[in-house]
Amino acid sequence: MHLDQIIETQDGSHSILSHKYGVSYHSKYGAITESKHVFISAGLFPKIREKEVISILEIGFGTGLNAFLSFIEANTKKLKLNYVGIEAYPISEEQYHHLNYPELLETPHFKNQFLQLHTSEWGKSIVIDPQFTFIKHLKHFEDIDYQSSFDVIYFDAFAPSAQPELWEEDLLQKMYDALVPGGIMVTYCAKGLVKRRLKSIGFTVESLPGPPGKREMTKGIKPQ
């Protein structure tokens, strides 16, 4: 049985409260607001100007919100996105049916595509529409092993206070290796320790204004 409850954040969008870690999947100030700010505006948008086909790796597929927002951008702006999501502890069928993202984003016509993100087979690539290819892998972040494969990484693990092991240098190094030169990693986390680790690995680190409730967020760029 899933003990994790669906909660409503301040912009009306749902999130999930993790029973195990005692934290929510998104900011209480707004799940959609946070995801758009951190991942879409700071992560995806800068690449649109540079590349015709963009490869995205998401560390922490969770509710599928970041994948769904990326799909909507691909569809409406006619971008070509190849999206890979990693998740070890998928949410339940009952939970993903209940999430209010398609309705709140005024895209009820994409409800099927939202559900497809969840119902698609693990490890099997699907074409959700000609603009958006999607695959998710049921695995631990610690086991990823990509080399120069992605333009953008959405790093959306639980915070270092909840899961410090996911912010150690070895996983940050795996993300660095997974990016193509010039690729970017974005995260809502702005902790000095994490930024120092990113710098020591070789990322060029930028602190950007954060979403509501957070002064800053972090962008790491792999040098060309």
Residues in binding contact with ligand SAM, number by CB under 6 A: 17
C-beta of 35 vs 75, nearer to ligand SAM: 35
Give yes or no for residue 194 binding ligand SAM (CB under 6 A): no
Burial of 79-91, coded b for 16+ CB within 10 Å and e otherwise, reads bebbbbbbbeebb
Tokens standing for residue 42:
């700071």
Among 190, 197, 208, 158, CA closest to 175? 197
In whole angstroms, the minimum distance from the beta carbon of 63 to ligand SAM comes to 3
CB 189 within 8 A of CB 160: yes
Min dist CB 56 to ligand SAM, Å, is 12
Q: Which of 4, 9, 25, 118 binds ligand SAM (CB under 6 A)?
A: 25
Closest approach, Cβ 184 to ligand SAM, in A, equals 17
CB of residue 132 vs ligand SAM: minimum separation in angstroms? 17
Enumerate the H helices of the chain as residue ranges.
31-35, 45-48, 65-77, 93-98, 101-104, 111-119, 169-178, 192-201
Chain residues binding ligand SAM by CB under 6 A are 25, 35, 60, 62-63, 65-66, 86-89, 140-141, 156-158, 163
